[in-house]
Amino acid sequence: MHSEEIVEDSWIKQLTALNKSIVFMGDDTWGKLYPTSFLRNYSYDSFNVKDLDTVDNGVLEHFFPELVNQTDWDVLIAHFLGPYIDGIVVDDVVLGVDHVGHTFGPNHPKMQSKLHQMNEFLVELTNTLPSDVVLGDHGMSSDGNHGGATDDETGAALFLFSKARPLHALDQDRSMYDVLFDSPNEVAQVDLVPTLSLLMGLPIPFGNLGAVIPNLFFESTGPGAFNVTDALTHLNDALWVNAHQLRHQFLTTQTIRMDLPAMIQLEKVFAAAQASAMDAHATHRLLQTYLRDALSLSRALYTQFDLVSMIHGIALQLAAFVALHFGSFCLRRLPMALGVGCFVGFTWPFIASHVSALLPGAPLPRYLATAGLSTALLAFRYRPFVSASTHLSRRSVGLAMLVVLHCASLFSNSYLVVQDRVLLFLSATTVALLGMDILVQRKWSHLPPFMLLCVVHRLFAAWPHPNIVFTTVTVQMTWIPMAALGVWICFVHPLSLISYVCVWLYWFDVFPLFLPWVVYGWTILHLRQPSSPLLVLVLLHGPSSPGTFALFIAMATLFHSLDKSPSVPTTVGYCFLVHTLYFQSGHGNSFASLQNAAAFVGMAKFQWHIAGVLLAVNTFGAFWLGLALVPTPATQTTTVVTGYFTLSAICTTIFVAICRRHLMVWAIFAPKFVFDAAISVAVHGLVLAQALLGHVEKSDGDCKMAHLS
Tell me: do 366 and 414 sit in the same domain.
no
Tell me: do 620 and 654 sit in the same domain.
yes
Q: What is the pLDDT of residues 600-621, one digit of tens each?
A: 898 877 788 898 999 999 999 9
Where is mean pLDDT largest: 156-165, 360-369, 383-392, 459-468?
Answer: 459-468
Tell me: do 351 and 364 sit in the same domain.
yes
Is 489 inside any structural domain? yes
Check whether 186 has a pLDDT greater than 60.
yes
Is 183 inside any structural domain? no
Is 550 inside any structural domain? yes
Tell me: do 360 and 213 sit in the same domain.
no
Q: What is the pLDDT of residues 304-357, one digit of tens each?
A: 788 888 898 899 888 888 877 665 444 444 555 555 555 555 555 555 555 444
| Angstrom distance (rounded) from CA 475 to CA 484 | 12
Tell me: do 129 and 239 sit in the same domain.
no
Tell me: do 323 and 293 sit in the same domain.
no
Check whether 235 has a pLDDT greater than 80.
yes
* Residue 462, φ and ψ in degrees, nearest 5: -90, -10
Return the pLDDT at 390. Answer: 44
| Angstrom distance (rounded) from CA 313 to CA 673 | 13
Last residue of a domain, one of 346, 381, 416: 381
Return the pLDDT at 361. Answer: 47
Name the pLDDT band for 114 (thresholds 50, 70, 90). confident
Tell me: do 228 and 143 sit in the same domain.
no
Tell me: do 123 and 211 sit in the same domain.
no
Check whether 454 has a pLDDT greater than 90.
yes
Is 176 inside any structural domain? no
| Angstrom distance (rounded) from CA 57 to CA 59 | 5
Last residue of a domain, one of 356, 381, 406: 381
Name the pLDDT band for 252 (thresholds 50, 70, 90). confident
| Angstrom distance (rounded) from CA 577 to CA 572 | 9
Is 178 inside any structural domain? no
Check whether 175 has a pLDDT greater than 70.
no
For residue 684, the one-letter residue type is H
- The conformation of residue 667, written as its DSSP 8-state character, comes to I
Tell me: do 340 and 461 sit in the same domain.
no
Tell the burial category of 663 from Cβ atoms under 10 Å away from its Cβ (0-12, 13-18, 19+).
exposed
Is 412 inside any structural domain? yes
Tell me: do 500 and 567 sit in the same domain.
yes
Instruction: Give the count of domains, the chain.
Output: 4
Boundaries of domain holding 139? 1-164
Name the pLDDT band for 685 (thresholds 50, 70, 90). very high
Residues in CB range of 42: below 8 A, 6 or more apart: 24, 25, 26, 58, 59, 62
Is 177 inside any structural domain? no
Whole-model pTM over 0.75: no
Q: What is the pLDDT of residues 265-314, one digit of tens each?
A: 888 998 998 887 778 888 888 998 998 888 888 777 777 788 888 898 89
Contact by Cβ (8 Å): 529, 596: no
Tell me: do 280 and 319 sit in the same domain.
no
Residue 529: left (phi > 0), alpha (psi -120 to 50), or beta?
beta
Q: What is the pLDDT of residues 499-513, one digit of tens each?
A: 888 988 888 888 888
Tell me: do 506 and 618 sit in the same domain.
yes
Last residue of a domain, one of 243, 275, 304: 304
Is 103 inside any structural domain? yes
